[in-house]
Amino acid sequence: MQIRQLELEDLNWLVEQRNNEDLNIYFNQPHLINCLEQEKWYRDNVVTNKFYSFILWKKDTERVGYVSLKNFNPIIQKAEFSIFSLPEFQNKGYGKELIDFIIRFGFGRLNLNKIYSTVFEFNPAIEIYKRWGFKIDGKLRADCYKKGRYWDSYYVSMLKGDYERLYNSKQSAVSETSSLQPCTTK
C-alpha cells in the first residue's frame, strides 16, 4: 500500500468517484460535478493547503481510496476528515488504513487537537468510526436530503488525548501479542 498526496493527474479519477452513485450517496455534495469544478476545487483548496488530500494506491497501479482533512481551524486546532474507498475494496481493511493515516497525520504533523466528521445516519461507516475510537458528539436532525427524504447526521470526533490513550493501549497489546499491528500502512 502507498499513500500519497492528491495530484493533478488524479482529478479525472476523483470526479468519476464523486459522481459514482454507490459512493456519492454518502457525500455532502448537492449535485454531480464536472472536471472544471474539480480543477477549481483543486487550485482553490489543495494547492493552497486548505485541504490535505491523499490517495491510497494498491501496488502503484490501482487507486483504492481517498482521504482528506479540510476546514482546518488553526486556532482551535481542529479539522474535518472525509474519506472513501472504492466499492470493490470496501470491507477489506483499506478504510482502516486511510483512517489510521489521516489521524496520525492530523495529530502528529498538523498538531491538531480534534479530528471530526459529519456522517449521515444511513452510512454504515459510522460503526467503523466508533470501533476506531471516534465518539458521537451530537445529532443534527434532518441535516441532509437523500433517497427522497430527510436524514439525520451524526457529528463524530476524536480528540488527541483519546488517540494517545488508544494508541498507547494498542502499543502495550502489541508487545504482548506480536500479531497485532496498530496504525500501520502495509
Given this model, what pLDDT does residue 79 score?
Answer: 97
- Residue 17: what pLDDT? 93
- At 16 the pLDDT is 95
Low-confidence ranges of the chain (pLDDT < 50): 172-186
CATH class of 2-176: alpha beta
In the chain, count of helices (H) and strands (E)?
6, 7
Grid coordinates representing 7 are: 495530484
By the 10 Å C-beta count (0-12 exposed, 13-18 middle, 19+ buried), 67 is classed as buried
Residues 6+ apart with CB under 8 A from 47: none
The residue type found at 12 is N
pLDDT at 29 (0 to 100): 82
Handedness of CA 149, 120, 91, 80 (dihedral sign): positive
The b/e string for 19-48 (b: 16+ C-beta within 10 A; e otherwise) is: beeebbebbeeeeebeeeebeebbeeebee
